[in-house]
Amino acid sequence: MLYEIFWLFYALGIAIIMSLGLLGILLLQSIPGLRTKIMAVALCTIIILAGLYFSFQWNAEKRGIRIFTQQIEETINKYLMTHKK
């Protein structure tokens, strides 16, 4: 359960990063000046690439993250079993 919650927030963060990059590219026409447009395109491209990197990083570390979250979940369950009210 903890893995799914962690994945949900991670995916939401990646979606926000990718959306900001794509929104920047879509709103590029409203930026005056060629130099500023080039800087904006570079920044938007870096943001999109960062989102892709984090997405691929999740896939590469999926097994380790699952093991880590299972250990946390077991620790929380042990704590709750020993500290009942």
| Three-state secondary structure of 8-57 | HHHHHHHHHHHHHHHHHHHHHHHCCCHHHHHHHHHHHHHHHHHHHHHHHH
The pTM assigned to this predicted structure is: 0.71
Per-residue pLDDT of the chain (85 residues; tens, 9 = 90+): 888 888 899 889 899 998 988 888 888 888 888 888 888 889 999 999 998 998 898 888 888 888 999 999 999 999 999 987 7
> What pLDDT was estimated at residue 32?
87
CA angle 48–3–7, rounded 5-degree value = 15
> What pLDDT was estimated at residue 78?
93
* One-letter identity of residue 28: L
CA angle 60–9–28, rounded 5-degree value = 90
